[in-house]
Amino acid sequence: MVQSLLLLLLLTVSTVPASADEDAFIGVNIGTDLSDMPSPTQVVALLKAQNIRHIRLYDADRAMLLALANTGIRVTVSVPNDELLGIGQSNATAANWVSHNVLAHVPATNITAIAVGSEVLTTVSNAAPILVSAMKFIQSALVASNLDSQIKVSTPHSSSIILDSFPPSQAFFNRTWDPVMVPLLKFLQSTGSYLMLNVYPYYDYMQSNGVIPLDYALFRPLPPNKEAVDANTLLHYTNVFDAIVDAAYFSMSYLNFTNVPVVVTESGWPSKGESSEPGATVDNANTYNSNLIRHVLNNTGTPKHPGIAVSTYIYELYNEDLRPGPVSEKNWGLFDASGMPVYILTLTGSGTVLANDTTNQTYCVARDGADPKMLQAALDWACGPGKVDCSPLLQGKPCYEPDNVIAHSTYAFDAYYHRMAMADGTCNFNGVASITTTDPSHGSCKFPGSDGRNSTFVNGTTLAPSSNSTASSCSSRYYYYGDAFVRSTVIVVLLLNAVFL
């Protein structure tokens, strides 16, 4: 038994796809079909405020790439479908595209991938015959500039190219596309790139006529008898997302490609729809995206490849009011054009929070009508024995104006309260202070607790891999595609998980 298990482990070692990055990350897509599209500077300000570290653009807009310079944000740029034919037919055009849209911006802007076209096979199939040439031409331009190891080339696919996707073990790519998919996968394999896949459990749910339970699409717990079991592999599927990603792995292995990782280039849920789209609600969008983020950042992997990172870009940053189609089409965003969140993601418990999670955010301010002398005494105490850093209140500093005891004591009270982790009784100051949920920040004077200072979205935690690594999240760190040296112990752990879970 032990020997056969070892044999199984050895045989399977080469078939575990590496994670496409060191750890799973969450990124966000930025569509621009808005009547009042924010300026690149405003977009970048929102990304920074929300600690979004990975984005995908649908083009390679110069102003946007300039605004992203020196932010550390990782960027996937795209060759738009209407530029694909030219690039796929001419090495020189491809080299020119790379020169203008990539070389002009790196390294200041951290471009990490080029998405060549978008859902080409299913939306502009006339370009399908030149898709792989376009990717190869782009790749050779990167090689010529010695950027091929840091910038990966791929192309996002609609998951509708996967047929018979349940059970996942029987899924295969629509064979019409074998003449494209086989050289495409060869290219991804030989360049250490990854399969880009758009995964929309929303559509699977909507189109299933009730066969797919809403809970299964939303990653909500299912009673064991409702869990989907793949009869061939006996793997249990608790959500649609995992089933689709595994269907992609199985479709690749059907073509004998077993080590190309998957990155989900789009996934999300609309927050509003027509009366004929009852699934499109704020609650469902919040539930889907919150659970998706938790699932991805936990490095949970899929039943077929537990612990293997499946990094995912949420669709999308903004609601796009100009997009044609039903109401839902305009309502996939996390934010409106002004940067206000459409809903507050409920990520408590995951240790990471996106967006303006103000649910538990409170501030300590000077009480209305409090005696100015008592306020002054409390202010003196806070900045003295209370050890609050009151330097922002000095002349010329951000919180000097307005220069009055109410404003200054409010700053000091709030700083003290947050330093004390908002513990009971730390916002009192002899009765002249009170708690509020309204952020008293103004202009460049940011109050403690505002924008995540000592709040739930402390910098570094949001949308980044959890620093609270589990065994499985550590494993992917050592596990790059193409590394000659493979930590076999890690793989054994992963496979034991696969065997016993």
Positions that interact with ligand NAG (CB under 6 A): 49, 72, 74, 91, 95, 107, 110, 112, 125, 137, 140-141, 144, 163, 174, 176, 255-256, 294-295, 298, 300, 339, 356, 359-360, 415, 418-419, 448, 451, 453-454, 458-460, 468, 470, 472
CA pair distance 228, 495, nearest whole angstrom: 21
List the catalytic residue out of 266, 316, 320, 329: 266
Taking residue 48's Cβ as centre, other Cβ atoms within 10 Å add up to: 15
**Which of 87, 210, 190 shows the shortest CA–CA distance to 141?**
87
CA pair distance 247, 171, nearest whole angstrom: 5
Give phi and psi for 39, each to the nearest 5: -70, 160
CA pair distance 73, 80, nearest whole angstrom: 21
Do residues 280 and 205 touch, judged by C-beta distance below 8 A? no
Mind giving me the DSSP string for 58-107?
A: SS--HHHHHHTTTS--EEEEEE-GGGHHHHHH-HHHHHHHHIIIIITTTT
Taking residue 349's Cβ as centre, other Cβ atoms within 10 Å add up to: 7
The least distance separating ligand NAG from the CB of residue 130, rounded to whole angstroms, comes to 13
The least distance separating ligand NAG from the CB of residue 457, rounded to whole angstroms, comes to 8
Taking residue 323's Cβ as centre, other Cβ atoms within 10 Å add up to: 15
Beta bridge partners of 157: 197
Taking residue 438's Cβ as centre, other Cβ atoms within 10 Å add up to: 10
CA pair distance 254, 271, nearest whole angstrom: 36
Toward ligand NAG, which CB reaches closer, 69 or 486? 69
Toward ligand NAG, which CB reaches closer, 81 or 454? 454
DSSP H/E element including 255:
none
Toward ligand NAG, which CB reaches closer, 278 or 460? 460
Q: Is 316 a catalytic residue?
A: no
Cis peptide before 129, with omega less than 30 degrees from 0?
A: no
Beta bridge partners of 314: 28, 267
Toward ligand NAG, which CB reaches closer, 185 or 280? 185
Q: Which tokens sit at 243?
A: 């089933």
Do residues 342 and 316 touch, judged by C-beta distance below 8 A? no
Toward ligand NAG, which CB reaches closer, 280 or 285? 285
The least distance separating ligand NAG from the CB of residue 17, rounded to whole angstroms, comes to 17
CA pair distance 366, 390, nearest whole angstrom: 16
The least distance separating ligand NAG from the CB of residue 333, rounded to whole angstroms, comes to 14
Toward ligand NAG, which CB reaches closer, 111 or 280? 111
Q: Is 320 a catalytic residue?
A: no
CA pair distance 160, 325, nearest whole angstrom: 19
The per-type count for the chain, helices as H runs and strands as E runs, is 16, 15
Report CA dihedral (203, 206, 211, 212) to the nearest 10 degrees: 50
CA pair distance 481, 258, nearest whole angstrom: 11
The arrangement of strands across the sheet holding 262-267 comes to 152-154, 110-116, 74-79, 54-57, 26-30, 312-314, 262-267, 195-198, 156-158
Secondary structure (3-state) at 357 = coil
* Catalytic site positions: 119, 266
